[in-house]
Amino acid sequence: MKHFSSIGAAVAGTGFIGPVHVEALKRIGVHITGVLGRTPEASESAAQRLGLPRGYHSYEAMLADPEVDAVHLALPNTLHYEFSRKALLAGKHVMCEKPLALSALRAHELVELAREARLHGGVCYNIRFYPLNLDARERLKSMGRIFSVTGRYVQDWLLYDTDYNWRVLVKEGGPLRAVADIGTHWMDLIVSVTGLEVESVFADLHTVHKVRHRPVGEVKTFAGPSEVEREAILVETDDTGCILFRFKGGAQGMLFVSQVTAGRKNMLQYEISTAQGALAWNSEHPNELWLGHRDKPSEVLLRDPALMNDLARSYSSYPGGHNEGFPDAFKGCFTAFYRAIASGDPTGQELYPTFAQGAHEIVLCDAILESQQRERWVTV
């Protein structure tokens, strides 16, 4: 297997999540060739800030760099399809932020393109890689039939009608927002942890703020709310949503998503009930896995490589009591991705979230949107 340092990766996007990719790549020892921002100046200043050798002046220059084997796309959603397609055509592996594309058709086109080129295509559903989620995945294999999966993914950063981000606009983020932005993380996690397949969905989505007041032009850092000039915009994307799932084999599911729940900064939670017990995990306490029993006291497993199964242990870097969290989940996700690249061509058995799985999330979103519009169950 090739050493990670012999694989070159470049990162496009220097906003919130691009630097998270850079940090994780540094930690696992992949050779980072450079970074791309919106302008040549933004690229150069990000390269300097992040301690990287190059700020690319264009995406074409990034793809033309022979040192680049893989690109990471940490860009607004509208760019994912085109940037992924160009990268695959240039012979680069791709780790794309979610969603893979804005339509299932385009996402499937990328799945085919990657397959034909025998390139690895990953979508960054990083939450799978909290070690206790990997532990739960293995543990469930011997817990018998799954009865139900319930949970939520809730945040508060769009609570006020003065909160604004490109994600609220259909043309920038796509027609679903809370569901697509955070609900897909929950759905990917549940499908990967349980191995269940969604058969049908029923959705009830809601836009709490049908009008938001977005800042006009550049907002000065630390400007007070009264100093910011604003314009009213109509919002059609979902602030909250309740989704019911029927899984193949008869299990039931229920998800609540929200970006307007005060005090919940970024909480993903699930509880899975099976014939032989239950388990639950919460991203606010990611080093604890609750194990529910009927005939003896329930337990809490504190993340500890010595107490976890082999899969979870191989994605956990610190001893018990030394907490692992959000940045470590990216480290795990990229470790799986580069282990697969270093091992050779894609096999279809990858542990990282693949393009095919990313495309499936878009199919689920389409079914959820259709259910909302038609007010009925929709078969996936």
Ligand X SMILES: NC(=O)c1ccc[n+]([C@@H]2O[C@H](COP(=O)([O-])OP(=O)(O)OC[C@H]3O[C@@H](n4cnc5c(N)ncnc54)[C@H](O)[C@@H]3O)[C@@H](O)[C@H]2O)c1
Residue number, nearest CB to ligand X = 15
Cβ proximity to ligand X: between 17 and 242 the closer is: 17
Cβ proximity to ligand X: between 76 and 320 the closer is: 76
Cβ proximity to ligand X: between 86 and 230 the closer is: 86
Q: Tell me, what amino acid is at 35?
A: V
Distance of alpha carbon 207 from alpha carbon 236, whole angstroms = 7
Distance in Å, CB of 4 to ligand X, minimum: 21
Distance in Å, CB of 241 to ligand X, minimum: 17
Distance in Å, CB of 283 to ligand X, minimum: 10
179 neighbors 368 (Cβ within 8 angstroms): yes
Calculate Rg over the CA atoms of the chain.
21
Cβ proximity to ligand X: between 247 and 315 the closer is: 315
Q: List residues bridging with 123 in a β-sheet.
A: 96
Cβ proximity to ligand X: between 164 and 202 the closer is: 164
Q: Count CA atoms closer than 13 A to 133's CA, side-chain side.
A: 31
Q: List residues bridging with 72 in a β-sheet.
A: 11, 95
Cβ proximity to ligand X: between 95 and 196 the closer is: 95
Q: What is the dihedral of CA 198, 200, 204, 205, to 10 degrees?
A: 50
Cβ proximity to ligand X: between 126 and 240 the closer is: 126
Cis peptide before 99 (omega within 30 of 0): yes
Tokens for 351? 């542990």
Closest of 23, 291, 340 to residue 132, by C-alpha: 291
Distance in Å, CB of 118 to ligand X, minimum: 26
Distance in Å, CB of 128 to ligand X, minimum: 11
Q: Exposed, middle or buried by CB within 10 Å (0-12, 13-18, 19+), for 200?
A: middle
Distance in Å, CB of 124 to ligand X, minimum: 5
Cβ proximity to ligand X: between 57 and 246 the closer is: 57
The 3-state DSSP class for residue 89 equals helix
Cβ proximity to ligand X: between 73 and 146 the closer is: 73
Longest dimension (CA), the chain: 63
3-state helix, strand, coil in the chain (%, to 5): 40, 25, 35
Distance in Å, CB of 68 to ligand X, minimum: 15
Residue for token pair 């006291």: 297
The 3-state DSSP class for residue 235 equals coil
Eight-class DSSP state of 128: G
Instruction: Point out which residues bind ligand X (CB under 6 A).
Output: 12-18, 36-38, 74-77, 79, 97-98, 124, 126, 181
